[in-house]
Amino acid sequence: MAKYRKLGRTSSQRKALLRNQVTNLLYHGKIVTTEARAKEVRKIAEGIIAMGVREKDNFETVKVTAKVARKDKDGKRVKEVVDGRKVTVYDEVEKEIKKDLPSRLHARRQMLRVLYPVTEVPAEHAGRKRNTKKVDLPAKIFDEIAPKYASRKGGYTRIIKIGQRKGDGAMEVVLELV
């Protein structure tokens, strides 16, 4: 007897499907899928959230100086001529950053092994590359999702049956974060 559902797919297709659904569940908070898929996604997602809860406070804040390009009122970089060439002007800025301790860094890498990279596209510029930004999903798990579940001991997701799908009669469910 197998310890997981095969979902009628090869191992690479199954892995891609589950990674995609776990990523979407953690990014959006809920997904609609079949019951069998939801039960498999739940296992993976709960493990990732548990990892986030365990490591949420495991960092130290560090002050660093960073070079940042000076910008004019239009948001363009300021350039000055040095030795006949245009060179960008940089300012030094003090920043406070979170530095992961080794166990949290390991947890972040374990999460990135499962989660796909997410790119956020603003609605008014759909289809354009200009204003897109990459979402740091492990940071979202550590900073937003994990503090919500700090007092819980498991059971981070809920499956709600919504009826059978019209095409093939498969039981559809909503899988959501509690």
pLDDT tens-digit series, residues 45-73: 999 999 999 999 999 999 999 999 999 88
For residue 128, the number of C-alpha atoms closer than 13 Å in the C-beta half-sphere is 7
**Across 84-136, where does the E strand assignment appear?**
85-88, 90-100, 118-120, 133-135
Residues 73 and 117 in one domain: no
**Residues with pLDDT less than 70, the chain:** 1, 125-127
Q: Classify residue 141: in a domain, yes or no.
A: yes
Q: What is the CATH number of the domain that holds 158?
A: 3.90.1030.10
Domain that holds residue 130: 11-57+102-177
Domain count, the chain: 2
> pTM for this structure?
0.84
In a domain, 154, yes or no: yes
Give pLDDT, residue 38.
98
**Are residues 91 and 139 located together in one domain of the fold?**
no
**69 part of a folded domain:** yes
Answer yes or no: do 108 and 25 share one domain.
yes
pLDDT tens by residue, 117-131 = 999 888 776 667 777
Do 127 and 96 reside in the same domain of the chain?
no
31 assigned to some structural domain: yes
